[in-house]
């Protein structure tokens, strides 16, 4: 229908972006379809909507020159093919009408730039100027243009590269990784909301540690979540060492992610040890201690959420509580993820709550067979 309609308007149209990529990867059910047309996206959307059953409403975003139709479970997004250029201090491009090639050039990654023709003449043909198909096969995140230009133009793409690498379990090409590292400071021109959107997607992936390792490797993590990078490293005094709490945290997050899809439980796992950096002490008698790190950590959660402009609501309080209980998320199944359940858990456990806490931590950190036996009992 879209192909037919654009033909009536005397233009060509293509499906592009995530839908084509995920279709080729046989991945999930699509939620949106991006359509690019060589002409006005808004005009095409209006005409398509008038032919659809029930004549759905067209949402028009005049500033962006885009339009959206909700059809059944799908969001159809229409945009006119465009050429973009950037100013140094903004990720908002200067836009002008362009060809399909111009539009493919402005896309972030080769795997997101594959177009599927909807025209009668070449219906179903894939137009793939940057060999995105080859990259899908090689499981590679690569930019259509020079990476230094792509990431500097729009630094959000640095987060997107790492997010796609995590979601798809792809590798980021070396040149891209270098360009991200070089341009890391430019992440500061991206709004906190967009950064958080990408962080949420990384945290919700099957194996979040992939993303956090890449964020760490490119030093982006130090800018976004310095509380986490502060956990990295092992110190040794008088022959006594403590564990590396950064790598331990990533293990905990992956571990939890095998058991729950709950975003906030995963956030709690990510932040469960952040109080350890400021509370670390060495005592001649007791060795390394992190006294009251749970308490300090839960206060840090508030500041961190505030800094990242995340909502300071019940979800944040939940994360704080879980941190206060220090990595207790491990034992909670998804059904128990409510404030009151956490309180009930603490209440019911009564005087044994300390043991319960130790037990949870022990699942991951205790290799000592004597302790394991003790916790089992």
Binding residues vs ligand ATP (CB under 6 A): 17-18, 34, 107-108, 112, 154, 156-157
Kindly state the smallest distance separating residue 154's Cβ from ligand ATP, in Å: 5
Name which of 365, 264, 358 is nearest 320 in CA terms. 264
Kindly state the smallest distance separating residue 243's Cβ from ligand ATP, in Å: 35
Distance CA 246, CA 273 (A): 8
Distances (CA, A) of 189 to 3, 86, 107, 140: 38, 13, 19, 27
CB atoms inside a 10 Å sphere around CB 41: 25
Nearer to ligand ATP, 205 or 326 (CB): 205
Nearer to ligand ATP, 160 or 266 (CB): 160
Name which of 77, 37, 30, 71 is nearest 53 in CA terms. 71
Nearer to ligand ATP, 156 or 265 (CB): 156
Nearer to ligand ATP, 12 or 154 (CB): 154
Q: Which residue is nearest to ligand ATP (CB)?
A: 18
Nearer to ligand ATP, 107 or 328 (CB): 107
Distance CA 211, CA 373 (A): 35
DSSP 8-state class, residue 63: G
Side-chain-facing half-sphere of 155: CA atoms under 13 Å: 21
Kindly state the smallest distance separating residue 108's Cβ from ligand ATP, in Å: 4
Tell me the pairing of strands 58-61 and 115-117: unpaired
Six-digit token pair at 279?
Answer: 């509370």
Kindly state the smallest distance separating residue 344's Cβ from ligand ATP, in Å: 37
> Is-contact 259 336, C-beta < 8 A?
no
Kindly state the smallest distance separating residue 156's Cβ from ligand ATP, in Å: 5
Nearer to ligand ATP, 1 or 25 (CB): 25
Kindly state the smallest distance separating residue 356's Cβ from ligand ATP, in Å: 38
The phi and psi torsions of 117 (rounded to 5 degrees) equal -70, 140
Six-digit token pair at 222?
Answer: 């130090």
Q: Which helix (H) or strand (E) holds 172?
A: strand 171-172
Nearer to ligand ATP, 200 or 374 (CB): 200
Kindly state the smallest distance separating residue 126's Cβ from ligand ATP, in Å: 14
Distance CA 371, CA 314 (A): 36
């Amino acid at each position: 229908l879209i192909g037919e309609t654009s033909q009536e308007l005397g233009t060509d149209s293509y499906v592009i972006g995530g839908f084509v990529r995920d279709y080729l990867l046989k991945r999930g059910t699509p939620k949106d379809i991006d359509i690019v047309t060589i002409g006005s996206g808004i005009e095409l959307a209006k005409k398509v909507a008038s032919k659809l059953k029930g004549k759905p409403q067209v949402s028009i975003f005049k500033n962006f020159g885009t339009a959206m139709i909700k059809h059944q479970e799908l969001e159809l997004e229409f945009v006119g093919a465009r050429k973009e250029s950037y100013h140094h201090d903004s990720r908002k491009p200067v836009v002008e009408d362009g060809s399909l090639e111009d539009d493919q050039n402005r896309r972030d990654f080769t795997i997101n730039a594959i177009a599927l023709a909807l025209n009668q003449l070449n219906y179903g043909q894939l137009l793939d100027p940057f060999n995105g198909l080859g990259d899908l096969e090689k499981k590679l995140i690569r930019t259509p243009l020079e990476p230094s230009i792509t990431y500097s133009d729009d630094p959000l793409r640095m987060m997107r590269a790492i997010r796609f690498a995590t979601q798809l379990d792809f590798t980021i090409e070396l040149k891209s990784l270098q360009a991200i590292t070089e341009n890391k400071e430019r992440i500061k021109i991206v709004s906190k909301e967009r950064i958080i959107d990408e962080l949420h997607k990384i945290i919700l992936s099957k194996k979040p540690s992939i993303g956090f390792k890449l964020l760490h490797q490119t030093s982006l993590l130090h800018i976004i979540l310095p509380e986490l990078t502060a956990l990295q490293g092992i110190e040794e005094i008088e022959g006594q060492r403590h564990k590396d709490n950064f790598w331990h945290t990533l293990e905990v997050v992956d571990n939890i992610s095998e058991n729950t899809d709950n975003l906030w439980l995963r956030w709690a796992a990510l932040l469960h040890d952040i109080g350890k950096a400021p509370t670390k002490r060495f005592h001649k008698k007791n060795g390394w201690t992190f006294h009251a790190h749970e308490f300090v950590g839960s206060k840090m959660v508030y500041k961190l959420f505030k800094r990242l402009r995340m909502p300071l609501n019940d979800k944040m309080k939940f994360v704080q509580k879980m941190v206060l209980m220090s990595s207790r998320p491990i034992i909670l199944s998804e059904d128990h993820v409510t404030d009151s359940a956490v309180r009930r858990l603490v209440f019911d456990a009564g005087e044994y709550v300390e043991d319960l806490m130790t037990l949870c931590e022990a699942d991951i950190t205790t290799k000592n067979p004597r302790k394991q036996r003790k916790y089992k009992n």
